[in-house]
Amino acid sequence: MRGDVIAEVGAKVTRPSGAEIIDLGDVTLLPGLIDAHVHLFLHPGAEDLQTVQESVPQRTIMATLAARDDLMAGFTAERDMGTEGAGSADTAVRDAINHGEIPGPRLRISGNAINILGGHEDAIGYNPEQHVLPNATYANNAAELVTVIREQLKEGADFIKIYETGADSLVNGRLSTPFQYTEEELVAAVRDAARTGNRVAVHATGEPGTLYAARAGVESVDHAYQLGDETMRVMREKQIFAVPTFAIAEYFAEHAATPEGGARERQMLELHAREFKRQLAAGVPMAMGSDVGPFPHGTQAREFVLMVKYGMSPLAAIQAGTLNGARLLGWQDKIGALKVGYAADVAAVPGNPLDDITALQKVSFVMKDGAVVRR
């Protein structure tokens, strides 16, 4: 590599005199891994309480530590899917990483996500007289969506995150989840973001919200627990990514507050796993995203293991967290492959992950932009 880009790739390469040689032994070299759904401003614990009790400066410090942990685990690029009530604080984290002031992945950030009054991320279940703030910014119609989008872009967002469905429940084995925005409202959001070259991603678990989002032309449908046939067709046709987020579902199932809650989470995970096979068979594009934050940062390579467990080939799972992730982040000509002219983002793992995908949980070497950050 020369500077921060890859100069040559192959069994034999030209080495300038004085070049540093790094012999990593019997490892597999991969492009830096890409997690398309993270929450740098969250950590394990009661999510609704941490966002109420912890100040934004405190949470920003925690976010810098989370970014470092993710980088050390081999994730050299990420999409931060909402600060959960910390406003545009992720702008400062992204910029500090870009300026070399703190270690972390290259980031696409969304600032605060967008939600309706009484929606999935509203502060429900508290004494109304306390006026507890939501974890997302309110927008209740198309005009308000446009206003909030413009404010977020002004404050530094790279893309827009919208909550489109929730709360979720299982009814006779089917997912039931109310939509939050109509198709027309989402079209208005996508159109206004596109005006400045930006895109919209949605939290959406089931119908009809997922179909509204796909028809509106979002960049990804995150979680995607249950997609109808028409939704899958549109996503395949428009190359809209599903981001499954199995790791967070498994974590919630294993760390539920009550046995009943654990049983519900396991049911939801089982439904998601069945539906994932249908989505793969239908040719829905997949990008790796773990929803890390509510579970410990730096451990999210578990998502690759679960994608394989639930039906993906190891190669397809790796592509979901490299090539496809790069496409979703809009950096397909810069990262996601070990290719001449691409950024020198490299991760090394023991053995062959095509034979044992758990190798991705054992990253031993990380380089970002040609600089060694772990060895």
Q: Which long-range contacts (CB under 8 A, 24 or more apart) does 222-229 make?
A: 222/37, 222/81, 222/289, 223/291, 224/275, 224/279, 224/284, 225/168, 225/175, 225/268, 225/271, 225/272, 225/275, 226/174, 226/175, 226/271, 226/272, 226/275, 227/275, 227/278, 227/279, 227/284, 229/282
E strands of the chain, at which residues?
A: 27-31, 33-38, 75-80, 106-109, 114-115, 137-138, 160-163, 169-171, 174-176, 200-204, 220-223, 241-243, 346-350, 365-368, 371-374
pLDDT of residue 172 exceeding 90, the answer is: no
* Positive/negative CA dihedral, 67, 65, 121, 300: positive
Tens of pLDDT, residue by residue over 66-121, are: 999 999 999 999 999 999 999 999 999 999 999 999 999 999 999 999 999 999 99
Q: Which amino acid is at 273?
A: A
pLDDT of residue 258 exceeding 80, the answer is: yes
Residue 300 binned pLDDT confidence (cut-offs 50, 70, 90): very high
User: What pTM does this model have?
Assistant: 0.97
Domain ranges of the chain: 38-285+295-316
Residue 140 pLDDT: 97
pLDDT of residue 331 exceeding 90, the answer is: yes
Mean pLDDT of 132-141: 95
Tens of pLDDT, residue by residue over 10-54, are: 888 888 888 888 889 999 999 999 999 999 999 999 888 888 999
d(CA 273, CA 251): 15
CATH of domain 38-285+295-316: 3.20.20.140
pLDDT of residue 1 exceeding 80, the answer is: no
